[in-house]
Amino acid sequence: MSFIKTRLNENTCDYVNKVFAKVKERNQDQREFQLAVKSLFDAITPLFKNNSCYEKHSILERIVEPDRIISFKVPWVDDQGKIHVNRGYRVQFNQAIGPYKGGIRFHPSVNLSIMKSLAFQQTIKNAITGQAIGGAKGGADFDPKGKSTMEIMRFCQSYMTELAKYIGPDVDVPAGDIGVGAREIGYMFGMYKRLTGTYEPGVITGKGIEYGGSLGRTEATGYGAIYFVEEMLREKNLSLAGKSIIVSGSGNVAVHTMEKAVEKGAKIIACSDSSGYIYNEEGLDVASIKQLKLVENKRISDYLTIDSETKYCDQCTDIWSIPCDIALPCATQYEIDEQAAKQLVQNGVKVVAEGANMPSSLEATQIFIDNHVLFGPAQAVNAGGVAVSSLEMAQNSAKVNWSFAKVDAELKQIMQNIYDRCITEANNYGQTNNLVVGANIAGFKRIANAMIAQGVL
C-alpha cells in the first residue's frame, strides 16, 4: 500500500524498494519496525524523483539502522520478597540534529521491534518540531498495573541503575510514555542523582515542577494536538466550534485533548479506555472524566454513576462506529484498522488526527486520504509533548522557570510551524495537502541533510 499518487521514475522506486527489501531481510521478526519504515519510505518517495543526492550518500541504508541498541535485565523485588526479572531497552536511533530524545514505556507488550519502531518514528517527529533533538525510545516489559507504589519505585530504581550509564543532558534525555508518569520519572531521577553524585535536571524530562519540570508539560501533547487540528481546519476556513468529536483513550493525552477541544467550542460525544467506551450525543463532561481517570484511577464505565443518560459499550474498538465530525485516536498503535476507517468515512468524518503513535494502519491511512478526509499523522499531531520536553531542557540549561502562559504560547507556535512545514513540503513535491507526505519529507530532509554535512558516521 502506497501513499504516493504520482507515477515515479522506475529507477528511483528501485532504490527505495531495494533498501526496504534489505530492512525486511535483516529484521524478519520485527513487524512493527518494518511497518514504521514502510510508512516513511512510502511517504518520502517523491524526494527521489530527479534527485540522486540521498542515494549517493546511502542515506536510506544509514537512517534505518539505529546508532545503538541497549538491552539489559531489570531485577527487582516485590512486596513479598520474591525476585522478578524483566527485560529493559534503550534504542538510541539517530543524533544527527541533537542529543537522543524519547520516552520510556513500561508495558508488557514492549519488545525490541516495538522499541525500534517507536525510536525510528520519534526521530522523524523530533526533527519536524524544529528543535535540536535526535530520536530514541526506551522501556521494559514490566506491567505497572496492580503493583504497589514501593514495587514501582524498586523497579524504576533498578531500571535506572543500568540506563544511567548511557544518558546525559547532552547525550540522551529520556521522558515518560505509557506506564511512566511523573511518579516514575521522579524515582528514576532520584536514582540517577544517587548513582552519579550530580544534580542534572536536564538528564530527564517530565519532572515535577519542584525539581526542574516545566509548567505545561502535562497538557502539552493533548493541547498540541488540538492546536494542530485548528490549523488543519483553518486551511478550509473552518473551526472547532460546534464540531462533534470522538476520542479514544482517557489517559493524559486523551483527557487534555478533550479539555482543549471543549475550550475551543467542540463537543466530546465519546471516549474510551481499555475496557470499553462511553457515548452521549449531547456531550460528555470532560471535567468529570478527568477526575475519574487521572485522579481516582477508575474505569470509564464509572462515568455512568455521574450521568445515567450516557451509554456504555464494553468493546472499546467499536468507538469508531459512532458518527462524528472529528476522530482523534489517542490510545495506542494500530487501533484504527481498514474496517474502522471505512466506517468512519461512511459516517461522514471530516477530520482524523492521530494523538497516539501510529494509531492508524497503513490501509486505514490510505482510505482517509483516498476519501479526502483531512488527515493529520502522528509524527506531526502528537509532537507537542516532545516539543515542550525540549523547552523543559532549555529551561534546565538556563536555570530558569517559564510561566504556563509562555510555555503554552511557545507550544502553539511550534505546532503552527509544524503544520506550515508539512503543508509546504507536501505541496512542493506534488502531493497537495497530503500531510503524511509533508510531515515525513520535512523530518527526513532535516535529518538527511545533517547526516550528509557531518560525513559518514
What is the per-residue pLDDT across 161-195, written as a single tens digit (0 to 9) for each? 999 999 999 999 999 998 999 999 999 999 999 99
What is the per-residue pLDDT across 327-367, written as a single tens digit (0 to 9) for each? 999 998 789 999 999 999 999 999 999 999 889 998 999 99
Residue 2 has pLDDT above 80, yes or no: no
Residues 6+ apart with CB under 8 A from 335: 248, 317, 329, 356, 359, 360
Pairing label, strands 326-329, 374-376: unpaired
Assign domain 68-200 to a CATH class: alpha beta
The dihedrals phi and psi of 148, each to the nearest 5 degrees, come to: -75, 165
What pLDDT does 9 receive?
Answer: 38
In the chain, the largest separation of any two C-alpha atoms, in whole Å, equals 65
Residues noted as catalytic: 137
Amino acid at residue number 168: G
What pLDDT does 8 receive?
Answer: 33
What pLDDT does 49 receive?
Answer: 80
Residues 6+ apart with CB under 8 A from 158: 74, 75, 76
What is the per-residue pLDDT across 350-361, written as a single tens digit (0 to 9) for each? 999 999 988 999
Which band of pLDDT confidence, cut at 50, 70 and 90, is reported for residue 405? very high
CATH 3.30.930.10 fits 218-381, yes or no: no
What pLDDT does 338 receive?
Answer: 95
Q: What is the mean pLDDT of residues 306-321?
A: 94
What pLDDT does 13 receive?
Answer: 75
CA distances (Å), origin 41, targets 4, 62, 252: 10, 13, 31
Residue 143 has pLDDT above 70, yes or no: yes
Residue 409 has pLDDT above 70, yes or no: yes
Residue 84 has pLDDT above 50, yes or no: yes
Which band of pLDDT confidence, cut at 50, 70 and 90, is reported for residue 7? very low
Residue 423 has pLDDT above 70, yes or no: yes
Counted residue by residue, the chain has a size of 457
CA 5-9-12 angle, to 5 degrees, is 105
Which band of pLDDT confidence, cut at 50, 70 and 90, is reported for residue 4? very low
